Amino acid sequence: MIDQGRQLAVRAAVRLDAGVNAEMALDQELQAVGIDHPHRPRATDLFYQTIRWQIRLDHALGRCLTRPLRDLQPEVRAILRLGALELLIEAHPAYAVVDTSVSLAAKLAPAAKGMVNAVLRRLSREGDGPDDEDPVQALAIRYAHPRWLVERWLARFGESDTVAIMQWDNTRPQLWLRVNRNKGTVAAYEDQFQVTGDHHPLVPGAIAVSAQPVRKLAGFREGWVSPQGVGSQLVASSLPLAAGWPVADVCAGHGTKALALLERVGKLDLLAGDLKPEALRLIGEEARRLGVRAPRTRSMDAAHPPTELHGSFQAVLVDAPCSGLGTLQRHPELRHRCQLDDVRRLAEDQARILSGSSELVAAGGVLQYAVCSLEVEETTGVVLDFLDHHPDFSASADQRWLLPCRERTEGFFIATLTRSRL
CA 8/CA 6 separation, integer angstroms? 5
| Contact criterion met (CB below 8 Å) for 241 and 265 | yes
For 229, phi then psi, to 5°, come to: -60, 155
The yes-or-no answer on residue 372 being catalytic is: yes
| Contact criterion met (CB below 8 Å) for 207 and 190 | yes
Pairing between β-strand 412-419 and β-strand 361-371 as defined by DSSP bridges: antiparallel
DSSP character at residue 212:
-
DSSP character at residue 128:
T
What's the distance, Cα to Cα, between the start and end of the chain in Å?
74
Coil/strand/helix, residue 324:
coil
Q: What angle do CA 136, 327, 349 make, to 5 degrees?
A: 95
Coil/strand/helix, residue 295:
coil
163 contact partners, CB below 8 Å, separation of at least 6: 139, 143
DSSP character at residue 282:
T
CA 26/CA 78 separation, integer angstroms? 14
CA 69/CA 84 separation, integer angstroms? 13
Residue of 64, 322, 338, 372 marked catalytic: 372
**Which residues are annotated as catalytic?**
372
